Chain A
């Protein structure tokens, strides 16, 4: 029993990380119908920037949590600027282009960001100092660290905050209007360009947050860390119904738990024929089954194909 609970905790942590990154994907998708494939790399830049700020601060004797907070701030600023630039350079011109054109520029942006990170931070893995409280707690026989609790709480808070922003504020209304129909929204006095840029900036700040938490949890950061994370988060966003904020959260947590339980129990379930190396197969299989029955994800609305 404690093993099962432990697996649920594991899945919850992993899932909350996916969810945090997935929120960034889904925000951009919701407003532009565009998969921002470079989002994972923005997370990576956030993690490495924060690390660069964190290390000297910690060395100078700044208390851990404060150093992390300052580092997060710096990372958020860098990522916001980056998100703004990416939208301006790689996507804005292509807003009326064929649907796949921005996909290619996004891949180009990913490659560029990775190479830049490699030039700036080198090819080696970096260890991330454990500055956040990381004491271990035992809950019903399962272990959970404070960093893990923090991740789960932050992900939940972030999602709620974003939902409030989108559904309750003036800016949120403008965002929804732009998503619905940019031209009409513009006629109503919404500056679509500004709203879209803002969406990218918020999404990128989330990426910085995710980057800091991911690297704190695993204690390691690397210029290539964004790729897999981005891919998993994208999968999570689609599973939940891309474009839907609650869906990103649900999809993320679900994917995390599926992976944890898959790795933990798939061997026992199949009598040892399939082992934990089929964890991703299992996750994708669940995704495919979900999409067969709900072609727009768990919480996605039925939308017409965008040409």
Chain B
């Protein structure tokens, strides 16, 4: 079997695994886990988007969730009774990508000179500013409905059929969360495809050049300004798409979904998975979505099994374990769980 053949078989296996995953998970663990997979797919999209900014271009962004928020609110405003608009998802999602991309440039443009931790605090501030505006823009003119959030958002519909209603095929009922899973996974795969192609393109190499040494990159004739702005815009647009999907999936958005901690979480996914390495980032997104939920289901029973009684609050224990897991993973895999091969070499050489 030659290598090409092998990779085809690999892709086929992954495709089959992705296709049967919700049914296997749903039957084995319950529909909760299918919903967790839905969110995992959303977070993989977010992590991949942030990876462009942080992983490829090396720009530390602590306000990434703002773009997710922009996408989500755009969907909410254009497809809910709030303004009485009911645009179809397929019109809103690309628009969400565009608008979020513009916001990305808005953030990027004034911060081009900033580096490292200074950039981090400015992006953090930007994220907070967006959240505060979402929370406050219900007066004097009600745009975002303020802290109440926007309810009764239209579900994402395919061919006029809202996904949330599920599907009936040959007498078998497939719940909405399964359908959302396929939609999210397909879009996530699309984003994977785009990022892989980007990485191997001139732009991708320019990003890496900036990450490694901005001055040298400039000397090589790279227009660092535009290339950086492009990174912000691309990353933001993926966030915008994910946000729109989130709004259509939840059918409700409110500012509390877009706090600083969410930005930090997505950053953790990127770093913990393996910055700049697409499979690693996907793994990071999956891992950090699934882990807290696994602890939710497992922490109580585990404690019962080990100590014979409940010593600690299961909820505290859950977060405690999560914190410890973050520390341990980083201590033992400082470059991420699945780092870029090149980076791994650097790490070993450095010691």
Touching chains A and B, CB distance < 8 Å: yes
Q: Which residues of B contact A119 (CB under 8 A)?
A: 312-313, 316
Within 8 A of A (CB), among B294-316: 312-313, 316
Contact B326 A287 (CB under 8 A): no
Contact B121 A287 (CB under 8 A): yes
Contact A297 B118 (CB under 8 A): yes
Q: Which one of B35-43, B128-136, B169-177, B200-208 contacts A?
A: B128-136
For residue A94, CB closer than 8 A to chain B, the reply is yes
Contact with A112, one of B323, B331, B343 (Cβ below 8 angstroms): B323
How many of chain A's residues have a CB under 8 angstroms from any CB in B? 49
Contact A273 B330 (CB under 8 A): no
Q: What's the Cα separation between A48 and B251 when bound, in Å?
A: 41
For residue B282, CB closer than 8 A to chain A, the reply is no
Contact B260 A103 (CB under 8 A): no
Q: Mark B316-330, 1 if CB is under 8 A from A, else 0.
A: 110110111111011
A238-B121, A281-B129 as given contacts; A295 in contact with B324, CB under 8 Å: no
A101-B330, A291-B118, A305-B115 as given contacts; A273 in contact with B323, CB under 8 Å: no
Contact with A280, one of B132, B271, B343, B350 (Cβ below 8 angstroms): B132
For residue A288, CB closer than 8 A to chain B, the reply is yes
Within 8 A of A (CB), among B98-117: 110-111, 113-117
Contact with B330, one of A96, A105, A288, A307 (Cβ below 8 angstroms): A105
Contact B128 A94 (CB under 8 A): no
The winner among A105, A287, A306 for most chain B CB atoms within 10 A is: A105
Contact with A278, one of B132, B260, B268, B319 (Cβ below 8 angstroms): B132
Q: What's the Cα separation between A210 and B322 when bound, in Å?
A: 28
- B225 CB to closest chain A CB (Å) equals 14
Q: Which residues of B contact A307 (CB under 8 A)?
A: 212
Contact B319 A235 (CB under 8 A): no
Q: Which residues of B contact A105 (CB under 8 A)?
A: 326-327, 330-331
A98-B334, A108-B327 as given contacts; A235 in contact with B316, CB under 8 Å: no
- B62 CB to closest chain A CB (Å) equals 10
Q: What's the Cα separation between A235 and B312 when bound, in Å?
A: 35
Interface of A, secondary structure class, is: helix
Contact B327 A98 (CB under 8 A): no
Contact A109 B323 (CB under 8 A): yes
For residue B275, CB closer than 8 A to chain A, the reply is yes
A284-B125, A285-B129, A288-B110 as given contacts; A98 in contact with B335, CB under 8 Å: yes
For residue B140, CB closer than 8 A to chain A, the reply is yes
Q: What's the Cα separation between A108 and B320 when bound, in Å?
A: 9
Q: What's the Cα separation between A305 and B125 when bound, in Å?
A: 21
Within 8 A of B (CB), among A262-278: 273, 277-278
Q: What's the Cα separation between A31 and B135 when bound, in Å?
A: 39
Contact B327 A97 (CB under 8 A): no
For residue B351, CB closer than 8 A to chain A, the reply is yes
Contact with B117, one of A89, A96, A104, A238 (Cβ below 8 angstroms): A238
Q: Which residues of A contact B330 (CB under 8 A)?
A: 94, 97, 101-102, 104-105, 108
Contact B326 A107 (CB under 8 A): yes
Within 8 A of A (CB), among B245-275: 260, 264, 267-268, 271-272, 275
A90-B327, A108-B330, A280-B128 as given contacts; A238 in contact with B335, CB under 8 Å: no
Q: What's the Cα separation between A296 and B113 when bound, in Å?
A: 10
Contact B125 A288 (CB under 8 A): yes
For residue A162, CB closer than 8 A to chain B, the reply is no
Q: Which residues of A contact B133 (CB under 8 A)?
A: 281
Chosen A-B contacts, 23 in total, with CB atoms closer than 8 Å, are: A35-B117, A93-B334, A97-B334, A98-B271, A100-B54, A100-B271, A101-B335, A104-B271, A105-B330, A105-B331, A107-B323, A108-B326, A111-B323, A112-B324, A116-B320, A119-B313, A231-B124, A234-B121, A242-B117, A277-B135, A281-B132, A288-B110, A292-B111
B residues near A, CB below 8 A? 54, 60, 110-111, 113-118, 120-122, 124-126, 128-129, 132-133, 135-136, 140, 212, 214, 260, 264, 267-268, 271-272, 275, 312-313, 316-317, 319-320, 322-327, 329-331, 334-335, 343, 347, 350-351
5 extra A-B contacts, CB within 8 A, seeds A100-B275, A287-B121: A104-B268, A107-B326, A278-B132, A281-B129, A287-B122
